[in-house]
Amino acid sequence: MAEPVQEELAALAAIFCGPREWEVLSRSEKDGTVFRIYTKAEGLTDADIPLELVFHLPVNYPLCLPGISVNSERLTRGQCVTVKEKLLKQAEKLLPEPMVHELVLWIQQNLRHVLNQPETGSSSEKCTFSGSMAVDDGLWVTLLHLDHMRARTKYIRTVEKWASDLRLTGRLMFLGKIILILLQGDRNSIKEYLVLQKTSKVDVDSSGKKCKEKMISVLFETKVQTEHKRFLAFEVKEYSTLDELQKEFETAGLKKLFSEFVVGLVK
């Protein structure tokens, strides 16, 4: 972890030192750091709105944007999505410097203006505000298998853009010739992703001509369960051994999925 990031984390822990204001959820040399901040901001009626902000700092942060999740018992899901998108837009202006404290200050000062804008999401149900990441009833996880990827750089860039545009999180995973895409998000968004994947000229054929993806298969799809990890970002990762890939699935609470659908691919 870079020294500026270490200093930022230490400063945040000192600033948000009240009961339940600060909690580190995970820390890894490969996946970065995930932590939660509880704070309050002034809403439309001058009443304080409790906010649960979860930040994921990838290993190359602050050269890239942090992952952000927003929850509150006082906001609808649509409002939570709007707040998240405004925070990410603000974060783009702060690259490449450590930015979490500035983002928290910004939303504390601007929440009422953000809430005054149309909601991005369509749901009027309340977000869940609790000691752990809430499982959204509409959240699904899907595992896809790609046969090959010739135009790798372009393909990866396209997949990352689709995931970002559709607000999907998860992993694009490489193990030798095995290529897997694990998607988590709204089921309709995952369906939209599959349409894009199958109808867009995302790869090239053996002669180098642009072609559509014809050899993709859906290995598994299900509604996210309590034991499943909530991914905070979409990341591209490579694994040198099957054990490393297995640990990724186990960490995500998907051990059964791995044994039933992934192990057979290496045989």
- pLDDT tens by residue, 63-103: 888 888 888 888 888 888 889 999 999 999 998 889 999 99
pLDDT tens digit sequence for 29-42: 877 888 999 999 88
* Rounded Cα gap, residues 54 and 36, in angstroms: 4
* All CATH 3.30.70.100 domain ranges in the chain, comma separated: 139-266
Q: Cβ distance 126 to 169 under 8 Å?
A: no
Confidence of residue 118 (pLDDT cuts 50, 70, 90): low
Q: How many CB atoms lie within 10 A of CB 1?
A: 14
* Rounded Cα gap, residues 224 and 262, in angstroms: 18
This prediction's pTM: 0.49
**What is the chain's length?**
267
205 conformational bin, left if phi > 0, alpha if psi -120 to 50, beta if neither: beta
Residue tagged 């309590």 (tokens):
226
Mean pLDDT of 139-146: 86
* Rounded Cα gap, residues 249 and 61, in angstroms: 23
Distance set, CA 2 to CA 8, 11, 29, 62, 166 (Å): 10, 14, 11, 9, 31
Instruction: Quote the distance between the C-alpha of residue 8 and its chain's center.
Output: 21
Question: Any idea which fold 139-266 has?
Answer: Alpha-Beta Plaits (3.30.70)
3-115 CATH choice from 3.10.110.10, 1.10.3720.10, 3.90.79.10, 1.10.1040.10: 3.10.110.10
Q: Cβ distance 158 to 201 under 8 Å?
A: no
Q: How many CB atoms lie within 10 A of CB 43?
A: 18
| 131 three-state secondary structure | coil
Instruction: Quote the distance between the C-alpha of residue 164 and its chain's center.
Output: 9
* All CATH 3.10.110.10 domain ranges in the chain, comma separated: 3-115
Mean pLDDT of 149-162: 83
Query: Rounded to 5 degrees, what angle do the CA atoms 106, 167, 160 make?
Result: 110
Query: Residue 31: its pLDDT value, please?
Result: 75
Instruction: Quote the distance between the C-alpha of residue 237 and its chain's center.
Output: 14
Alpha carbon dihedral 170, 172, 174, 180, in 10-degree steps, equals: 80
Lowest mean pLDDT among 1-5, 193-197, 219-223: 1-5
- β-pairing, 169-175 vs 234-238, is parallel
Residue 247 pLDDT more than 60? yes
Mean pLDDT of 196-210: 73
